């Protein structure tokens, strides 16, 4: 094989690697999601039957909840909140069995951000605040719940 042919091959190989590398990376997350209690990196692999939606992908990139202020998503979030969260955090979010979600006091350091709330809903915190991913809630649904919780804040 001539040097020229080798060079051509090397260039082709490099180009192929560049194309394949992003596809081979399992997560395209730019935000690092960490467990509220020990800062271990969260496993955001989809649960059975879950589709990682464009809204979730966008949230992974910049930590901004695309459903904030979106009336349709907020309505869905309200129903999900009533079914999954209300028992402990109460209807208006003022807290009962769990802390208030609408005041400015946070038990967990990052709970005042959407990323921090997502981390806690997805993977849990202390005691009764268990992982909702393990209970079958989808990440897209978590974003809708977070958008709804913001509407409860005075
Ligand atoms: C069985 C009771 C229970 C249910 C149901 C529950 N939570 Fe919690 N939640 C708690 C408790 C207790 C804590 C405090 C955890 C801690 O101290 O780390 C908490 C903490 C939180 C926090 C962090 C607050 C802070 O100040 O750090 C958020 C956010 C939260 N819950 C959201 C939700 C959402 C959203 C749902 C529904 C998807 C939900 N919780 C369902 C009991 C519950």
- Find out whether the beta carbon of 142 lies less than 6 Å from any atom of ligand 1: no
Q: How far is the CA of 119 from the centre of ligand 1 (A)?
A: 11
Task: Determine contact, residues 149/91, Cβ cutoff 8 Å.
Answer: no
Q: What is the pLDDT of residue 133?
A: 98
Which of 118, 143, 123 is CA-nearest to residue 135? 123
Kindly give the parts of the chain with pLDDT less than 70: 1-29
Which of 96, 145, 92 is CA-nearest to residue 121? 145
Q: What is the pLDDT of residue 114?
A: 98
- Find out whether the beta carbon of 109 lies less than 6 Å from any atom of ligand 1: no
Out of 83, 99, 152, mutate this one to test ligand 1's pocket (max ligand atoms within 8 Å of CB): namely 99
Which residue's alpha carbon is nearest to atom 14 within ligand 1?
98
Q: What angle do CA 88, 40, 89 make, to 5 degrees?
A: 10
Q: What is the pLDDT of residue 154?
A: 73
pLDDT tens readout for residues 65-102: 999 999 999 999 999 999 999 999 999 999 999 999 99
Q: Which atom of ligand 1 is nearest to the CA of 127?
A: 12
Q: What is the pLDDT of residue 13?
A: 59
Q: How many CB atoms lie within 10 A of CB 123?
A: 22
Q: What is the pLDDT of residue 93?
A: 98
Q: What is the pLDDT of residue 69?
A: 97
């Amino acid at each position: 094989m001539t040097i020229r042919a080798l060079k051509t091959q090397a260039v082709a190989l490099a180009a192929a690697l560049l194309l394949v590398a992003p596809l081979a990376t399992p997560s395209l997350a730019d935000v690092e999601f960490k467990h509220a209690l020990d800062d271990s990196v969260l496993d955001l692999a989809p649960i059975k039957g879950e589709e990682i939606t464009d809204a979730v992908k966008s949230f992974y990139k910049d930590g901004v909840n695309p459903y904030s202020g979106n009336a349709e998503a907020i309505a869905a979030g309200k129903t999900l909140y009533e079914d999954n969260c209300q028992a402990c955090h109460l209807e208006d979010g003022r807290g009962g069995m769990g802390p208030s979600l609408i005041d400015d006091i946070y038990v967990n350091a990052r709970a005042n951000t959407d990323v921090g709330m997502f981390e806690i809903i997805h993977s849990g915190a202390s005691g009764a605040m268990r992982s909702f991913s393990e209970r079958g809630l989808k990440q897209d649904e978590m974003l809708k719940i977070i958008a709804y919780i913001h509407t409860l804040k005075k």
